[in-house]
Structure 1
């Protein structure tokens, strides 16, 4: 039930706290962002924080969980729309990343950033970050299985290639963050093309074949 001052379209206090925590922590880091700043940015009362979260770490973990869901949905949709074949989609991942790198609000990978601030591997924040990378790896593996089936490549190498692909993705994110150069994604794509080899002639569309002489 909503009150006269809180309609169904108005974000709840919990949602506003999550929004504020994600934005501030992604831009400035976990340790540099205090609870007071999050509460102030959210426009809620400090009591709301303690009503919904037992600690700042619990709020951060919840914000990262929500970001994981949103980021993965965005990345999967962008990748699936980037090409008509599994190979094109695998390489299209780097085009999707480049658009992200070029955006004004790009501050690297929120999950790598968070992991760099939390020493305990079993801390809930690190657990969420690890789960995000596992989801990303699973999606990459799904595409490599499709790639193997479509191209006749040995499916036994899919797991190894998927892990290498994830390293290329995270490497590109790191280089783009430090250098400020979105083209880190293009460099990673070039390395990825060498990793999976040339596209079989039979799988190319007529428009991509060399013109006859």
Structure 2
């Protein structure tokens, strides 16, 4: 009996997070109510509030789950598409272009969430900062592996972030290619670390 309840709880969590992720990302966090999530998930409002007593908790769970998946997809792409350290840096921008081209792409979930709630929700602001810091750390690791100076990571990070914002606003993949060209110029102009 207990085992069945654990599966039911896990299934309910998954259904709620799937519905929340789709709705929050597609329509925006503030425009989606708990009743919308109940309808989309098929989970009763009572059960929803048992699992997530406040909408902010559901928003946090959505951002946490999406973070792990986003960073995992990026790392898998880079590892699978480039063997040379400098090529790995450029593979980041190739992955961004692929992501920007997905039919449901609506910008960066953390930039969007921060724009909506960052001023009033320290939890959402914290998740956005943590996600961006983790992405920056990932780039720092790639830059170090390429034996390039650490400040290059910050420059590549800003190129990638600018591409995300531009792609989200204009619903275009070109910002990734333009950022990649700028990244290539920076990489070529940067001498290896001593």
* Structure 1 CA distance for aligned equivalents of residues 181 and 72 of structure 2: 25
Offset of residue 198 of structure 1: 6.0
Q: TM-score, normalised by structure 2?
A: 0.90
Offset of residue 10 of structure 1: 9.6
Residues 64 and 36 of structure 1: CA distance in aligned 2, closer, same or farther (over 3 Å)? same
Larger helix percent: 2
Offset of residue 82 of structure 1: 2.0
Partner residue of 2:97? 98
Partner residue of 1:170? 161
Decide whether the 8 Å contact of 2:106 with 2:171 is kept in 1.
no
Structure 1 gap ranges (5+)? 201-213
Alignment length, in residue pairs? 189
Partner residue of 1:205? none
In the TM superposition, what whole-angstrom CA distance separates every residue of 1:106-159 from its partner, at most 9, and x where no partner exists? 1110000000011437611111111111111111000111011xxxx4xxx31x
Runs of 4+ in 1 over 3 A off after TM superposition: 8-11
Q: TM-score, normalised by structure 1?
A: 0.83
* Structure 2 CA distance for aligned equivalents of residues 119 and 131 of structure 1: 13
Matching of residues 155-194 of structure 1 within 5 Å: 157-158=149-150, 160-194=151-185
Offset of residue 95 of structure 1: 0.7
Larger radius of gyration: 1
* Structure 2 CA distance for aligned equivalents of residues 176 and 122 of structure 1: 26
* Structure 2 CA distance for aligned equivalents of residues 126 and 164 of structure 1: 23
